[in-house]
Amino acid sequence: MNFSVTQQQLLQALTTVGKVVSPRAMVPVLTGVLVEAREGSLQLLGSDNETWLHFTVPATVAAAGSLVIPARYLTELVRRIAPETVTATADLGQRSLNLSWSRGRIALNGFDAGEFPLVPEVNPTIAFELPRYRFRQMVRQTVFAASSDATRAIFTGILIVEDPEGRALEMVATDGFRLARTVCPLEKGMEQGLQAVIPGRVMTEVAGMLDGEGPAVQIGVGRALVSFSSGSFRLVSRLIEGQFPPYRQVVPRDFRVGLTVDRAALEGACDLAFAALRDSGQPVCLEMAEGVLRLTGTMPDRGQIEEELAATVEGDPFRIAFNPRYLLEGVKAIDADRVICRFTTPTGAACLQAEGDDAFLYIVLPVRLE
């Protein structure tokens, strides 16, 4: 194997695929990245046996071949090479890779490429695409509500599903205490019906690779696998097995109080409350009156906070409290100048949406006040 590639492109590829490589993998070869030179391109593959990430960069290839090199070491060393053309030669029999540039060289030992797990065939039964910006937005508006508790695997994922009319794609995440749902219209329905739960970390990784302009995201969903591809990358992941909670049943229908408030002002007040209360474990209280929303909080042995916001309040106001982080994250996910907040009871679920746009919905349970 013999190829030449710029240091910048090699580092970009290594940094990207390294996101799915575990340095503490039980199988040694999985701590590495598969480096494969083909005519006109260098292709890198990383995997943790649950997710496979394939990234391609242009390269001048004199001799094709493939070898697995420890990912962390290779990335850290390439990061420190001058930004110029790097030439690589490999002795596949000795499983060694040599990198050289104008001022130096690196020699690394690796693993035989045949030991690296193959990317499984997805065999999609459903395939569709989303614009990059829309995919990023939908992930940003949902993934924060997923759980990080691995013992409840289904709650760590994002559900992608057709709406009941088959005219829109929904993404939904919940940790059991709050729920975020966002909707994107589809040009045409999917005859087979779409419903799959994708690991939240995978959705985050895909969204992170979609910066800037570029081709739409191609998504293929099979029985147990999902694939994403756009431009230089292709990612394959296992789906999460299990039954996602019946989220449509938890959306409140009747509300006692509704208020409309400036989103930036509400985010600022929630951010202040979160900063003040996060170490105390105390909730932020919302008190509503005609024309006013007041946020208050008490830090034991430290003091209190209070901020008033101008708001349009309708209904019979009451006092309600929330986890300040949950409230802040929901407000930050809304893309609008003004937010509509609707409340059922002091102990019932609350809903947050953008004024004039019901594509995004955030439901959060309150904290009981003593």
Contact indicator for 325, 331 with CB cutoff of 8 Å:
no
CA pair distance 165, 161, nearest whole angstrom: 11
Contact indicator for 74, 108 with CB cutoff of 8 Å:
yes
Q: What is the pLDDT of residues 209-245, one digit of tens each?
A: 998 788 999 999 999 999 999 999 999 999 999 999 9
252-364 matches 2-115 in CATH topology: yes
Quick check: helix, strand or coil at residue 155? helix
CA pair distance 329, 334, nearest whole angstrom: 9
Backbone angles phi, psi at 159, to 5 degrees: -80, 130
Cα pseudo-dihedral 19, 24, 30, 32, rounded to 10? 70
Stated pTM of the model:
0.91
Q: What is the pLDDT of residues 32-87, one digit of tens each?
A: 999 999 999 999 999 999 999 999 999 999 999 999 999 999 999 999 999 999 99
> Architecture of 126-249 per CATH?
Roll (3.10)
CA pair distance 203, 138, nearest whole angstrom: 10
CATH of domain 252-364: 3.10.150.10
**Extents of the domains making up the chain:** 2-115, 126-249, 252-364
229 beta partners: 218, 234
Nearest-CA neighbor of 326 among 302, 294, 350, 298? 350
- Which tokens hold the place of 31? 């701590």
Q: How confident is the model at residue 191 (pLDDT cuts 50, 70, 90)?
A: low
Residue 119 DSSP label: P
CATH of domain 2-115: 3.10.150.10
